[in-house]
Structure 1
Amino acid sequence: MSHYLTFLAETATIVVAILIVAGGIAAIALSKRKPAATGQVQVTDLRRQIEQSAAHIEALRLDKKAHKAHQKALKKAHKAQRKDTEKCTYLLDFKGDIRASAVSALREEITAILQVAQPGDAVLIRLESGGGMVNTYGLAAAQLLRLRAAKIHCTVLVDAVAASGGYMMAVTADRIVASPFALLGSIGVVAQIPNFHRWLQDRHIDFEQFTAGKYKRTVTLFGENTETGRAKLREELEETHALFREFVERYRPQLDLEKVATGEAWLGSKALELGLVDQLATSDEIIVDAAQNGKLLQISYQRPKNLSQKLGLAAQRGWDNFWFR
């Protein structure tokens, strides 16, 4: 029975791998036949949504006379508010995966904001990410730095997690606000790679790899890893960690990096104590406050997905879940 279960597990692994590869190949083939659809920036007036929700509740809570008086008072307040030049706050959402795929939408959203933003305007970013690939999260952080360069005040809101690459993005903001039990930090670098060399040997399967360049491939999935290769990978991880530390120090110089750049992550209250965040609050509190003090527009970039893109995304998610979960 144990041999049979092992056989089933191995077969399932191979089938999953074949399906992932087949899905990816199909996605690539189909994408070459049809160009990607052009996306569009969508804008939602969140202040109006909040007011409409409140008005609906008030209509049910108050009697007819009291509700009429309340509506009259609201109209008067809005009229007075419109006489002044209102600042506008733009809300963006970034939910990061291992590849920071949402950066493709983020760059479009920030470009749109930079075309219309006025002095005094601000940006809120609801950020949720446990980190991932260094280069793609570096690009995401660079997109947020465009707001800093344009002198647009940016606040990052963390309700659940901003760790590793997610925290790299967060430090570019002028202010970081986290909920009390959000997880923040993880200023470190990790690489974990399964190795099937012994499994292949047991089945008398040879794996051959040809490279040019001493360190073209340091460690491998299927070949026999050497101490030299492992040492080179550790060296590269240390170099990346040093760059990460420098980046964090540039934008949050008040941090004691010897304490916080250890790869650990902390809950919101401890993160506040260490200086990783500036305030404890939920994103809802900050968003409602922004709606009460000016216009609040949610900006999102949407691109319709054809069949090939859906297959490609499914294959990518399957691969990520197989190796990184």
Structure 2
Amino acid sequence: MANILKSLVPARFRSDKTVIPVVRLQGAISAASGSPLRQGLSFASAAPLLQKAFSIKGAPAVAIAVNSPGGSPVQSRQIYLRIRALAEEKKKTVLVFCEDAAASGGYMIAIAGDEIYADPSSIVGSIGVLYAGFGFTEAIEKLGIERRVYTAGENKVTLDPFRPAKEDDIERIKALQAEIHEVFKEMVKERRSTKLSDDPELFTGAFWTGQGALTRGLVDGLGDVRSVLREKYGDSVKLKPITPSGGLFGRRISPFRNDFSQAGSALANGLFETAQERLLWQRFGL
């Protein structure tokens, strides 16, 4: 009788299919994510998607597809913490899927998963901290430009690109990197302690394919979102993509706004951010 009554209910209202929300976290990670030219990843952009995904009643798990070459360690850790907090609050399993790359900050987000999967050709790892910049001391001399900087505090111009690098500045940056690196390592050990291999290169900033990451315990298996979820929840599993709400790139745009100066500034910032992101991806040959 129950089956007969169930068949009378329109298909869209039936609960015979397991629904798994899927969140895509993609792009270089920074506090200032998103521009007219690129869609970056930040805590602010990820948090609403995660909240929406974990709030879907009846879903036993949330799938998160990570595709990021890294970026801000702070934003990465905030996203990681939000995923874990929601998983515990909503009592849901977190399944993470590494796409082209889950490297550096991208991998920091990935370890929020109870299980991590990768494509055999994914780039995974890069557990380290990077600082990169440029020096223009000779360029401004050739152009006859005089650099004028006035500070209260002798360390306010640490690693000024228009002045020669000082050994004290370099040592200070390295000390900061060491502290951040230690936080990253402890996070990985806490989440993957019983699965990690004894490879001495694990925390050197090295990275591997998905297959190499599997042998080192950085991921739990190889596979894509659809095939893994079908294996776990059956062929009738329904994947529900979680997308941003609002206007362009998920941001609400007022039709009465006509601020061309702000648009120009956003375009210039977008060009710079795009160049930075391109460099991050190129580190991994992507």
From the superposition, tell whether residues 83 and 107 of structure 1 become closer, same or farther in structure 2 (CA, over 3 Å). closer
Aligned mates of 1:317, 1:114 — CA distance in 2 = 31
Aligned to 2:107: 167
Q: Of residues 74, 78, 87 in structure 2, which corresponds to 1:148?
A: 87
Q: Percent identity at matched positions?
A: 25
Match for 1:316: what amino acid? N
Tell whether 2:266 aligns with 1:318.
Answer: no
Aligned mates of 1:115, 1:168 — CA distance in 2 = 23
Structure 2 unpaired stretches of 5+: 1-5, 34-39, 280-286
TM-score normalised by structure 1 residue count: 0.67
Aligned mates of 2:41, 2:146 — CA distance in 1 = 39
Q: Of residues 94, 103, 118 in structure 1, which corresponds to 2:25?
A: 94
From the superposition, tell whether residues 291 and 130 of structure 1 become closer, same or farther in structure 2 (CA, over 3 Å). farther
Match for 1:88: what amino acid? V
Report 1:199-218 matches (<5 A). 199-218=139-158
Aligned to 1:303: 246
Aligned mates of 1:291, 1:212 — CA distance in 2 = 65
Aligned mates of 1:203, 1:83 — CA distance in 2 = 72
Tell whether 2:42 aligns with 1:132.
Answer: no
Aligned to 1:248: 188
- Following superposition, the deviation at residue 315 of structure 1 comes to 3.0
The answer to whether the 8 Å contact 1:132/1:164 transfers is yes
Q: Which of 281-290 and 187-196 deviates more?
A: 281-290
Report 1:96-111 matches (<5 A). 96-99=27-30, 101-103=40-42, 104-111=44-51
- Following superposition, the deviation at residue 191 of structure 1 comes to 0.8
Match for 1:315: what amino acid? A
Match for 2:244: what amino acid? Y
Aligned mates of 1:257, 1:240 — CA distance in 2 = 21
Aligned mates of 2:149, 2:56 — CA distance in 1 = 53
Q: Of residues 273, 276, 284 in structure 1, which corresponds to 2:226?
A: 284
- The Cα RMSD (Å) is 2.9
Report 1:190-229 matches (<5 A). 190-229=130-169
- Following superposition, the deviation at residue 138 of structure 1 comes to 2.2
Deviations 1:104-155 (Å, cap 9, x if unpaired)? 332112222344434x621001110000122222222222222332231011
Q: Which has the larger radius of gyration?
A: 1
- Following superposition, the deviation at residue 83 of structure 1 comes to 7.9
From the superposition, tell whether residues 125 and 310 of structure 1 become closer, same or farther in structure 2 (CA, over 3 Å). farther
Match for 1:266: what amino acid? W
Match for 1:127: what amino acid? V
TM-score normalised by structure 2 residue count: 0.76
- Number of residue pairs matched by the alignment: 248
The answer to whether the 8 Å contact 1:86/1:295 transfers is yes
